[in-house]
């Protein structure tokens, strides 16, 4: 029993043209440990846009094709092609995670037939997805596909931040772009687990979103006295680890500097090497693709900056920790880990020029959900 459906693909050719299209594919029978899921909901995460659009110039968008088989082409500046050498000529499916209904199951996965599941593994922007049974989680009774569409990346990332902070001996956390879906989850987890959290946002509206769910420390980076406010909040909480979604410009360094200032306030003796307080900055996103600028003379030698990625974290964390995290996500799916979507679109609409231009801007608080059953 094969299923025919569409699959969103991104391809870059040797001339530096990126093309998005919907390909007709046939999903054949699942193996013994596999299932086929009809996709009913898949979020467009910032992490999906990296594969979908790569370093393409969105302003160069050229529409083609038909309304149910749209094709979009983009140019990639020559200077930015180096990072995508490895994918040239490959037609790449897109979509990290999603949810839907199991339409057929292999011999060892019959118990999942007809069930609604959340899943992770790529290629979710499609009508059907064949997947290993171990890569899905059955949704709780009454949960919709939209409820379960984003139960992996954001929830496990937010929980991963808390696990990382605890494991590395930090007692409070700083988070940027903090009013995002992910940021709201992190705030709820920190309130439940009694971990002080300093939220950095870019507008008073974003601050209100966080205060409404109980945030105690919210600092607006647009305020003139931002660094002073941040230093005070860090001193009050004792935060020495930060997770930064922005990743470009001076904000990461500003956080390290505020941590150092807060630490120096508590020092009785001068050291030209700065405080002994170890300050950790993890960069997990690239909302700003500019280089990061670290004025390290402002924060001494006791610091580290580095990338934080979910999948390497999960690999290192081990099965027991990951199992505990996944259970918590399922248990708190419609509370702590509820995602809000500003708009639900069909699969073909994801390639509508106007809609694409809207979701590719990654505005904090805006989130698009693809429901392929809508067309």
Report DSSP letters for 326-346, one per residue: HHHHHHTTTTTT----SEEE-
Decide if residue 348 touches its own copies (CB under 8 A): no
Q: Are 326 and 320 in contact (CB under 8 A)?
A: no
Decide if residue 318 touches its own copies (CB under 8 A): no
Q: Which of residues 179-208 bind its own copies (CB under 8 A)?
A: none
Q: Are 133 and 121 in contact (CB under 8 A)?
A: no
| Residues 112, 337, 334, 171, CA torsion sign | positive
Decide if residue 87 touches its own copies (CB under 8 A): yes
The Cα 160–Cα 313 span in angstroms is 7
SS3 assignment, position 136: strand
Decide if residue 1 touches its own copies (CB under 8 A): no
- The least distance separating its own copies from the CB of residue 93, rounded to whole angstroms, comes to 13
Decide if residue 283 touches its own copies (CB under 8 A): yes
Decide if residue 90 touches its own copies (CB under 8 A): yes
Q: Which is nearer to its own copies, 39 or 256 (CB)?
A: 256
| List 35, 286, 348, 369, residue binding its own copies (CB under 8 A) | 286
Question: How many residues appear in the chain?
Answer: 375
Decide if residue 79 touches its own copies (CB under 8 A): no
Q: Which is nearer to its own copies, 12 or 207 (CB)?
A: 12
From the number of C-beta atoms within 10 Å of its C-beta (0-12, 13-18, 19+), residue 295 rates as: exposed
- Among candidate residues 70, 105, 81, 102, the one with its CA nearest the CA of residue 18: 81
| List 78, 142, 270, 335, residue binding its own copies (CB under 8 A) | 270
Decide if residue 82 touches its own copies (CB under 8 A): yes
Decide if residue 169 touches its own copies (CB under 8 A): no
Decide if residue 11 touches its own copies (CB under 8 A): no
Report DSSP letters for 7-56, one per residue: EEEEEE-TTSEEEEEEEEEEE----TTEEEEEEEEEE--HHHHHHHHTT-
Q: Which is nearer to its own copies, 3 or 243 (CB)?
A: 243
Decide if residue 361 touches its own copies (CB under 8 A): no
Contacts of 105 (CB under 8 A, 6+ apart): 30, 34, 35, 36, 111, 112, 113, 133
| List 13, 29, 32, 83, residue binding its own copies (CB under 8 A) | 83
Q: Which of residues 250-269 bind its own copies (CB under 8 A)?
A: 253, 264, 267, 269
The Cα 3–Cα 1 span in angstroms is 7
Decide if residue 144 touches its own copies (CB under 8 A): no
Maximum separation of any 2 CA atoms in the chain, in Å:
75
Report strand pairing: 217-220 vs 241-244. Answer: unpaired
Q: Which is nearer to its own copies, 87 or 216 (CB)?
A: 87
Other CB atoms within 10 A of residue 321 CB: 16
| List 294, 322, 338, 355, residue binding its own copies (CB under 8 A) | 294
Decide if residue 309 touches its own copies (CB under 8 A): yes
Decide if residue 77 touches its own copies (CB under 8 A): no
The Cα 52–Cα 40 span in angstroms is 20
Decide if residue 354 touches its own copies (CB under 8 A): no
Specify the stretch interacting with its own copies by CB under 8 A; choose among 20-28, 128-136, 179-187, 307-315.
307-315
* Cα 84 to chain centroid, rounded: 21
| List 242, 305, 325, 351, residue binding its own copies (CB under 8 A) | 305
Specify the stretch interacting with its own copies by CB under 8 A; choose among 15-23, 102-110, 182-190, 288-296.
288-296
Specify the stretch interacting with its own copies by CB under 8 A; choose among 71-79, 126-134, 169-177, 284-292.
284-292
Residues near its own copies (CB under 8 A): 50-51, 54, 82-83, 85-87, 90, 92, 247, 253, 264, 267, 269-273, 276, 283-284, 286, 289, 291-298, 300-309, 312
């Amino acid at each position: 029993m094969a299923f025919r459906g569409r699959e969103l693909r991104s391809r870059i050719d040797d001339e530096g043209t990126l093309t998005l299209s919907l390909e007709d594919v046939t999903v054949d029978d699942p193996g013994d440990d596999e299932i086929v899921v009809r996709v009913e909901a898949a979020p467009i995460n910032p992490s999906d846009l990296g594969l979908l659009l790569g370093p393409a110039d969105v302003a160069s968008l050229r529409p083609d094709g038909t309304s149910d088989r749209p094709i979009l082409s983009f140019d990639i500046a020559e200077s930015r092609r180096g990072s995508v050498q490895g994918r040239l000529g490959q037609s790449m499916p897109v979509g990290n995670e999603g949810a839907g209904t199991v339409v057929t199951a292999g011999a060892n996965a019959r118990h999942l037939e007809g069930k609604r599941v959340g899943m992770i593994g790529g290629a979710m922007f499609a009508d059907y997805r064949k997947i290993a049974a171990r890569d899905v989680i059955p949704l709780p009774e009454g949960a919709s596909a939209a409820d379960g569409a984003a139960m992996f990346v954001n929830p496990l990332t937010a929980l991963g931040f808390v696990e990382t902070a605890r494991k590395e001996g930090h007692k409070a956390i700083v988070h940027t772009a903090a009013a995002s879906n992910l940021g709201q989850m992190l705030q709820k987890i920190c309130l439940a687990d009694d971990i002080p959290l300093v939220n950095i946002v870019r507008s008073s509206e974003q601050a209100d979103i966080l205060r409404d769910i109980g945030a105690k420390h919210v600092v607006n980076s647009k305020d003139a006295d931002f660094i002073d406010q941040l230093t005070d909040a860090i001193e009050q909480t004792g935060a020495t680890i930060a997770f930064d979604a922005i990743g470009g410009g001076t904000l990461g360094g500003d956080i390290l500097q505020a941590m150092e200032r807060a630490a120096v306030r508590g020092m009785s003796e001068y050291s030209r090497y700065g405080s002994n307080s170890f300050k950790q900055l993890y960069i997990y996103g690239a909302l700003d693709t500019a280089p990061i600028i670290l004025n390290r003379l402002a924060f001494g030698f006791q610091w580290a900056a580095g990338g934080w990625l979910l999948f390497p974290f999960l690999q290192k964390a081990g099965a027991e920790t990951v199992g505990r995290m996944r259970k918590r996500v399922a248990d708190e799916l419609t509370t702590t880990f509820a995602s809000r979507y500003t708009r639900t679109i069909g699969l073909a609409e994801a390639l509508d020029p106007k809609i694409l231009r809207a979701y590719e801007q990654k505005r904090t608080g805006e989130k698009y959900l693809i429901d392929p059953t809508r067309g």
